[in-house]
Amino acid sequence: YCPECFSEEITKKGKRAWLIWILGLTVCIWGAITHPDDKLYYLGVTLFSWGVVNFISITIHELVHYISTKLLGGYCPRVSFGEGGLIYSFHSKHTIWELRASPSLGITYVAFPTHLQQGWRYLVVLASAGLVNLSIAVSAFLLVYFEAIKGLHSLIAVFIIVFGVVNAFLFYVAFRPKVIRTGQSSDGAQILEILKKNDAFFDKLHMGYQLNIADALISRGEYATLITFIESCKDYENSPLHCSCLEYAYIQLGKLDLALEYSNRSIGLLETHGKDCLPQGSSVEAIKAIFLNNLAFALYLMNSEDSERMVNAANFAYQNIPWNDAIISTWASIQIEYGDLSKGISLLEKLVSKKREIDDKCSAQNYASLAIGYRKTNKLDEMNKAKAKSIALDPHCILLERI
C-alpha cells in the first residue's frame, strides 16, 4: 500500500546494484565488441546483464498489468518500476509513473469503478502479466532449441538466453502464492483468494483500490475531490485509512479542527481493530507511524499547547520511517520550533535539494519551514529566498504567516 514504507536498506542496496550492473555491463559489452574471442567477457555479460534484463522484464510485467486494466475499464493511479526510494516520477492523465531505486520489484495500483468490480476482471489483470512473462520465456527457449540464435551476434544470443531464464523466474514468482517481504501479496496469492471467493479478502481488496485512488488524488493535490470521493466510499467512517486521508485533505485546506478530529479517529480505529481494518499486506507499525505523523503536523499547525504529545508523535514516526519525505518534513519543522534548530534546518535543506516532491503544496511548506529556521538563526537573505520559493509554489501556503 505504501511504497515509501519499504526499508531504507533496500534503497541503499538498490542504488549500489544499479551502479554495479550498469558499469559492469558497459565494460563487458565494450570487451565483447573489442575482444570477441575472449569468453571471460561473455561470462561477464551474462552476470551483469541479469539485473538490467530483470528490470526490463519487470517493466514489461507492470505495463501489461496497466494495459489490461485500462482495456477492462479500470484505472491505475500509480505504477512503480522498482522498489525503495523514489528516483524520478511524472504524471500522465490518470497515472503517477515512478522509477525507484532497486530494480527488483514492481507495483501497479489498480482501481475499478464500483459497477466493474467483478472477480474475473481482477483475475485477468493479475494473471495477464505473468502469462506474458511465460510467453517471453517460451519464445526465448524455442529460439535456443531450434538453434535460431546461431546466426546472431554472440552478445545478442547471450541476452536472449538471459531473457528466457529471467522471465521464467518472474512467471514463477508472480504465480507463487506468498506475501512479498515488503508487505505486498504476489499475483498468485491474490488470484488464490479470488478463486476461493473469500469475502473478507474482497472487502480488503476493494478498500485497497479505493485508497489507491485517494493516494493519486493526494499526490496531485486535488484535496476537495479527495474529500468528495472518500465520503462516497462505503463505511469510510469505520476505516482508519479513509479517515486519515480526510485528515490530510483538511490539513491542506486549512480546516484544522476537522483535521484533528479525523486524526484522533483514525488512530483510535487502528488501535481498536489492528490489522483487521487494513488492506491486504499492510503493516500496522508503518501505518501507525504515518497516522502519528499526520497528528503531529495537525497539532503543529494549530500551535497546540500539547507540545509533548506533538513531539512524541513526530518522534515515533521519524524513528520508524526515517526515509519518508513527509515524515522528515514534519520532524524537521517541529525540531525548528521546539527542539534542535540546526538539525531541523539541515534535514529540510537536504529535503528541498532532492526536488522530487510530487505536490507543490508540500514543497511550499518545506520552504516555509526552512524560512522560519533561517529567521531564527538571523540568516535573512536565505530566509527571503526560501520564502519567495514557497510563495512561488503555493501563494496560500498555510505556513507563510509564521515566517
Determine which of 56-60, 93-97, 324-328, 374-378 has the lowest per-residue pLDDT on average: 93-97
Over 70: is that where the pLDDT of 180 sits? no
Q: Is the pTM of this model over 0.75?
A: no
**Residue 190 · residue 163 · CB < 8 Å:** no
Over 50: is that where the pLDDT of 59 sits? yes
42: confidence class by pLDDT, cuts 50, 70, 90: low
Terminal-to-terminal C-alpha distance of the chain: 35
Q: What is the mean pLDDT of residues 187-204?
A: 77
Between 275 and 325, whose confidence is greater?
A: 325
48: confidence class by pLDDT, cuts 50, 70, 90: low
3-state class (DSSP) for residue 304: coil
**Residue 239 · residue 348 · CB < 8 Å:** no
Determine which of 15-29, 184-198, 278-292 has the lowest per-residue pLDDT on average: 15-29
306: confidence class by pLDDT, cuts 50, 70, 90: confident
HSE, side-chain direction, 13 A CA sphere, residue 76: 24
Model pLDDT for residues 331-381, shown as the tens digit of each residue: 999 999 888 899 999 999 988 887 554 567 788 889 999 999 999 999 999
Closest CA to 225 of 254, 241, 246: 246
Model pLDDT for residues 31-41, shown as the tens digit of each residue: 667 766 676 66
Q: Kind and range of the H or E element at 305?
A: none
The average confidence (pLDDT) of the chain is: 81
Question: What's the pLDDT score for residue 280?
Answer: 58
Question: What's the pLDDT score for residue 150?
Answer: 77
Question: What's the pLDDT score for residue 6?
Answer: 39
Question: What's the pLDDT score for residue 401?
Answer: 86
DSSP string, 13-26: HHHHHHHHHHHHHH
Q: What is the mean pLDDT of residues 115-134?
A: 89
Over 50: is that where the pLDDT of 1 sits? no
Extract long-range pairs of 173-177: CB within 8 Å, 24+ residues apart: 174/61, 174/129, 174/130, 174/133, 175/130
Q: What is the mean pLDDT of residues 170-190?
A: 75
Over 80: is that where the pLDDT of 84 sits? no
Question: What's the pLDDT score for residue 149?
Answer: 77
Greatest mean pLDDT range, 61-75, 170-184, 199-213, 219-233? 61-75
184: confidence class by pLDDT, cuts 50, 70, 90: low
Burial class for 399, CB neighbours closer than 10 Å (0-12, 13-18, 19+):
buried
Report residue 80: phi and psi, to 5°.
-110, 125
Over 70: is that where the pLDDT of 222 sits? yes
Question: What's the pLDDT score for residue 65?
Answer: 95
66: confidence class by pLDDT, cuts 50, 70, 90: very high
Determine which of 82-86, 175-179, 240-244 has the lowest per-residue pLDDT on average: 82-86
CA gap 364, 151 in Å, rounded = 58
Question: What's the pLDDT score for residue 352?
Answer: 86
Over 80: is that where the pLDDT of 281 sits? no
Question: What's the pLDDT score for residue 334?
Answer: 93
Q: What is the mean pLDDT of residues 57-73?
A: 93
Over 80: is that where the pLDDT of 152 sits? no
